Amino acid sequence: MENNYEKLEKKIGISFKDKSLLEKAFTHKSYLNEHRNENIEDNERLEFLGDAVLELASTKHLFLNYPNKQEGEMTTFRSALVRGNHLAEIGEKLDLGKYLLLSHGEEKSGGRDKKYILANTLEALIGGIYLDQGYTEAEGFIKKFILVELDEITKKGLHIEAKSQLQETCQEKEDFTPYYEVLSEEGPDHAKKFTVGVYIEDKLVAKGEDSSKQKAENKAAQNALKIKKWK
In a domain, 100, yes or no: yes
209 carries an active-site annotation: no
**pLDDT score, position 138:** 98
In a domain, 80, yes or no: yes
Q: Based on the domain organization, do 44 and 78 belong to the same domain?
A: yes
Distance set, CA 183 to CA 98, 107, 158, 179, 198 (Å): 33, 27, 26, 13, 10
**pLDDT score, position 155:** 64
Q: Based on the domain organization, do 177 and 150 belong to the same domain?
A: no
CA pair distance 174, 56, nearest whole angstrom: 39
Of the residues 51, 106, 132, 210, only one is catalytic, namely 51
Distance set, CA 40 to CA 9, 26, 102, 185, 207 (Å): 22, 11, 13, 30, 39
Amino acid letter for position 99 = Y
In a domain, 143, yes or no: yes
Of the residues 123, 132, 139, 217, only one is catalytic, namely 123
Question: What are the pLDDT digits (tens) for 82-91?
Answer: 888 889 999 9
**pLDDT score, position 160:** 62
123 carries an active-site annotation: yes
**pLDDT score, position 85:** 80
Q: Identify the segments of the chain with pLDDT beneath 50.
A: 1-2
**pLDDT score, position 222:** 87
Q: Based on the domain organization, do 78 and 192 belong to the same domain?
A: no
Boundaries of domain holding 213: 162-227
Q: Based on the domain organization, do 105 and 196 belong to the same domain?
A: no
Domain finish residue from 103, 130, 155: 155
Q: Based on the domain organization, do 109 and 149 belong to the same domain?
A: yes
In a domain, 1, yes or no: no
Question: What are the pLDDT digits (tens) for 155-178?
Answer: 666 556 788 778 888 988 888 899
Q: Is 165 helix (H, G, I), strand (E, B) or coil?
A: helix
Residues 63, 69: contact at Cβ < 8 Å?
no
Q: Based on the domain organization, do 116 and 74 belong to the same domain?
A: yes
